[in-house]
Amino acid sequence: MFSGQAHPMLAEAVAAELGTKPGNCLLENFPDGELRVEILEEVEGRQVFLLQPTGPPAADRFLELMLMADACKRAGASQVIAVVPYFGYARQDRRAKTGEPVGARLIADIMEQRLDRILTVDLHTPSIEGFFRIPIDHVSAIPLLAEALRPELEPDSVLVAPDLGAVKMARRYSQLLDLPVAYVHKIRVSGSEVQVREVVGKVEGLSPVLVDDMISTGGTLRSAMKAVLDMGCLPRFTIAASHSLLVGDAIQQLALFPLSKVILTDSIGRTEFGSLPVQVVSLKKILAEAMQKLSLNRIPEPTHSMP
C-alpha cells in the first residue's frame, strides 16, 4: 500500500489497522512544477493499493494517483487498486447544458487505463459506477455517521435533506435513526449559488439534522438552513456529511448559523475547522476492512444501497 500526498495521515491510520505501514515512495515536483513519482518498494507480482482522495487541488491529486498507478504497472504489479475516499469530479456526472463535458465519465475513462479496481466512499451519484468497465467497490460512511449522530439527537429531531439529491441518503439515516424526513427543493444557479424553491415535510418546532454527501462552499446547507428557519424550525442545527471540502469562506459562513454539532469523516485531509463544532469520524476501519477483503479476493459488502 502506498499513499499519495493528499492524505498520508489516513493512509497511516488504515495501514495501522491492517498491521502494516505505507510503502516508501518518492513524491515531489520537478523544477517546472510537474509531479514526480518513484515507487521505492518491490511490487512485481503483487497486489498494490494506492490511497489518494482526489479533493482540492483535484487535478494534481488525480494525476499523482495515475502516475503512481502507471509506475506500479510498469514495475510489474499484478493488480493496482485505487482507494479513493473522496472521489473528485463526481458532481460532473451529466451535462446541465450544451457545451459542458461529462467530467466524471472522462475521469473514469482515464482511471481504467491504469487501474484494475477502485474502492471509494459515498460517491456523489452511485450510478457513476456505470461509467467504469473496471469494478468499483462503493462503501458508505452513513452507518458510522449515524452512530455519531445518535447521542446528539433531541426527541424532536427531524432529518432534513438539503436538496433532492440527498433524499435517498436522508431515508437511509431515517431507517437507522428512526426519524422523520423533510427535504428542501433547491436549484443550483452556479457553482457557488443555489436557490430554494420549497420545503417539503414538517420542520416547524423541530430540531433539524441536515445530512448530505458533501459540503463544498456550504451554499447548499446555508440555503437549506435559512429555508427551514423561515418555516419555523428551532434554531439548533446538527449536520452530518461524508466529505468536507469546505472551500473558500465556507467555515466562516456556516459558523454564522446556530450549529450544535457538525459530524464529518476524514475522507479529505482537512484538520482545521475554525469555530465550527466539528466531530470527525474516521473511515480507517471501513477502508481497512474493505481492503482486507480485496486482498483475500473477496468483495467488500456494498453499504451504499438505499431504499
Catalytically active residues, by annotation:
186
For residue 42, what are the β-bridge partners? none
Stretch of residues binding ligand R5P (CB under 6 A), selected from 7-15, 35-43, 146-154, 209-217: 209-217
Binding mask 187-206 for ligand R5P (x = CB under 6 A): -------x------------
> Is residue 303 part of the contact set for ligand R5P (CB under 6 A)?
no
Dist CA 152 CA 223 (whole Å):
22
Q: Which is nearer to ligand R5P, 8 or 165 (CB)?
A: 165
Q: Is 174 in the site for ligand R5P (CB under 6 A)?
A: no
Contact segment (CB under 6 A) with ligand R5P among 42-50, 95-103, 210-218, 286-294 equals 210-218
122 binds ligand R5P (CB under 6 A): no
| Binds ligand R5P (CB under 6 A): choice among 64, 122, 137, 212 | 212
Q: Is 214 among the residues that bind ligand R5P (CB under 6 A)?
A: yes
Does 128 help bind ligand R5P (rule: CB under 6 A)? no
Binding ligand R5P by CB under 6 A: which of 47, 220, 265, 267?
220
Query: Which one, of 120, 85, 88, lies nearest residue 107 by Cα?
Result: 88
Q: Give me the residue label for grid cell 471501513.
A: 286
What minimum distance in Å lies between the beta carbon of 81 and ligand R5P? Answer: 26
91 binds ligand R5P (CB under 6 A): yes
Residue 218 within binding range of ligand R5P, rule CB under 6 A = yes
- Of 207, 221, 214, nearest to 253 (Cα)? 221
Q: List Cα–Cα distances, 29 to 3, 33, 245, in angstroms.
A: 16, 5, 24
Site for ligand R5P in 263-292 (CB under 6 A): none
Closest CA to 100 of 188, 199, 185: 188
Gap between the Cα atoms of 167 and 159, Å rounded = 10
DSSP 40: -
- The minimum distance between CB 248 and ligand R5P, in angstroms, equals 9
| Residue (of 290, 293, 250) closest to 270 by Cα position | 250
**Cα(278)–Cα(66) distance, rounded to whole angstroms?**
32
CB of 145 within 8 A of CB of 279? no
Alpha helices in 75-121 (DSSP H): 103-114
- Residues lying near ligand R5P in the complex (CB under 6 A) are found at 91, 162-163, 165-166, 194, 212-220
